[in-house]
Amino acid sequence: MAQSKPPQTHAATLGGIPLKPFYSPKDAGEVPLAAPGEFPYTRGIHAAMYQDRLWTMRQFSGFATPEETNERYRYLLEQGQTGLSVAFDLPTLMGYDADAPEAEGEVGKCGVSISSLEDMESLFRDIPLGDVSVSMTINSPAAVIWAMYLAVAERQGAAPSSLSGTLQNDILKEYIAQKEFIFPPRPSMRLVTDVIEYATRHTPKYNPVSISGYHIREAGSTAVQELAFTLRDGIEYADWALDRGLRIDEFAPRLSFFFNAHNDFFEEIAKYRAARAMWAGIMRDRYGARDERSLKLRFHAQTAGCSLTWQQPVNNVVRTAVQALAAVMGGTQSLHTNSLDEAYALPSEHAVTIALRTQQILAYETGITAAPDPFGGSYFVEKLTADVAEAAQRYIDQIDGMGGMLPAIERGFPQAEIAEASYRYQTEVNGGERVIVGVNRFQETEEEKVDILEVSESAQARQIAKLGALRRRRDREQVRQTLDRLEEGAGKQGNLMPLLLDSVKSYATLGEIVAVLKRVFGTYSETSVL
C-alpha cells in the first residue's frame, strides 16, 4: 500500500516558484534598489509610508436591515475604525429587490439589504459622507448602488468633490472567479466605464473601480495568478476608458487595487512589491502616463477568508494577525482583518472588535511602522519579488496574445487556470502534504464553541414591508418616466450615470432599474470550460 508523503514544514516551492536552500547577494540582483516613494515604487508609494500616516482600518460590514447595519457602523467608528466598507446581501449583489421571489431566504443574510434610495438613506443616517471614506463591495449593479450613494451625499449637502472611498465595480473578476454577474461582459464593461468617466468628471477623490485579486485568490488561485489576472484586468479597464476618450492621467490616479493577504508570509510581501513595480512599468511604458499618481499602485488588502477554519476557530485570530502583518509589511494603504467566527456566520460584535484590535496592536504596539519596506534588500524577498513578477508577466503576455482579458474569459483561460490550482491545493490538503492546523493535523476531539451572530428572520419581512410602503407613496408617474428615459438611453451611446441618478432619486428600486437594463442588455450564462 502506497504511503502518502509526509507533511511539509517548509515549502519547496511557493506558488510554483522553486525555492533555494538559502539566498545570497547575487540572488538579489545587481540593480540598486530605488528608495521608497521613487519609481518603480517597489518599496512603497510614499517616502515615509506609515511614519507619516497609518493605513486606513476599514472593516467590511453589513447585515440584515440598513438600520441595523447603521448601528454597527456607528459602533465601529466609535471604536476607532477610520473608514466604512459596505457588505451587501446576495439579492442586492444580483440586482433583486427584497420582495423578489429570487430573494426569498437570502435577505440580509450575508450583507445588508438595499432595494432603494430610502434604504441607502437609512444606511448612512447620521454618518457625514463628506467626512467618512466609504468603500462599497458590489459589482454588476455597482453603477445603480453608487448612484444611490451619490444621491444621499447630495441630500446631506456634501459636495461631490469631498466624497472619498472606493466602489469595487470590478466586473471582470466576476466572470473569472466570483460569478455574481447579471449582464453580458461588453454591456457590463460599458457600465464600469460610465462610472470611471463620471467619477473623473465629478468626484475626483472617489475611486471608481477597485481591481480585485481578492476573489480570484479566494476561488483557489495561486499568488502569481492573483497578481497576473488582476493587473491584466486593470489593463482592460484602462483600454476601455481610453476608448471612451479619457486621457490616461485623467483617470489612472483613481484606479485602485484589492489584494488578498494569505498565509505564505514572504510570498505575500513579494506579491505586493511586485504589483507596484509592474503597474508602474505598465502605466509608463504601455500607456505613456506622466502624472506620478498614475504610476503609483494603491491597494486595499483583506486577510484570507478561505484560510479560516471552523475547527478550532480561535486559531483564526493568529492566522489573521500574520496575514495582516504581511499586508502591512507589503505596504498596503488600507486593511480589513477577518473575524474568528466567519467560518460559521457573519461576525459578532465581539469578534469584529478583536479583528479591529488586531490592526490597532500592529499599528501602535509593535514598532513595525518605524521604517518603510523593512524587508527591502533581503536577498530572499528581493529574489522572490523578481520571480513573482516574472511569472505574472508570462500570464499577462499570454492574455495579450489572446487579444485581451475579455477574449481570454470567453475561452475560459483564467477560469481553467484557477480551477487547476485550486484542485492541486486541495489534493495536497487531503493527502496531508499541506498542513492546516486543527484540520488535518493537531485536531481536537471536542471543538470549542463560539457565540455567533444570528440574523433575525424578521429582516426580510421588515424590508418587504418598507418596500411596499415606499411603492405606495412614491410618484409612480415620475418613476415610470425616469425608467423610460433610462431604457432609451441604454439603447444608445452615452453615459448612463445621469439617467441612473434621476431614476434612484425618483425612488425607482434597484430591481426595477436592473430589469430595464436586462431588457436592453440581456443576461449572461456562463458556458462550462472544463
Residue 517 inside a domain? The answer is no
Quick one: pLDDT at residue 449? Answer: 75
Instruction: Please tell me the pTM assigned to this model.
Output: 0.94
Residues 324-378: tens digit of each pLDDT: 999 999 999 999 999 999 888 778 889 989 999 999 999 999 999 999 999 999 9
Work out how many domains the chain is built from and give that number: 1
Residue 503 inside a domain? The answer is no
Output the nine-digit C-alpha cell for 373.
519596506
Residue 511 inside a domain? The answer is no
Q: Are 136 and 145 in contact (CB under 8 A)?
A: yes
Confidence of residue 243 (pLDDT cuts 50, 70, 90): very high
Residues 470-493: tens digit of each pLDDT: 999 999 999 999 999 999 999 999
Q: By residue range, what is the domain housing residue 135?
A: 13-430
Output the nine-digit C-alpha cell for 140.
454588476
Quick one: pLDDT at residue 456? Answer: 67
Confidence of residue 3 (pLDDT cuts 50, 70, 90): very low
Residue 252 inside a domain? The answer is yes
Q: 432 phi and psi, to 5 degrees?
A: 80, 5
Domain containing residue 28: CATH number:
3.20.20.240
Query: DSSP secondary-structure letter at 4?
Result: P
Confidence of residue 9 (pLDDT cuts 50, 70, 90): low
Confidence of residue 528 (pLDDT cuts 50, 70, 90): low
Listed in sequence order, the residues at least 6 apart from 108 whose beta carbon sits closer than 8 Å to its beta carbon are 63, 64, 65, 89, 455, 456, 459, 460, 463
Which residue from 397, 400, 394, 402 is spatially nearest to 222, judged by alpha carbons?
394
**Between vectors from CA 461 to CA 458 and to CA 467, what angle results, nearest 5°?**
140
Residue 61 inside a domain? The answer is yes
Confidence of residue 106 (pLDDT cuts 50, 70, 90): very high
Mean pLDDT within 217-243: 98
Output the nine-digit C-alpha cell for 425.
491545493
Residue 28 inside a domain? The answer is yes
Residue 485 inside a domain? The answer is no
% of the chain beyond a pLDDT of 70: 96
Residue 32 inside a domain? The answer is yes
Output the nine-digit C-alpha cell for 429.
490538503
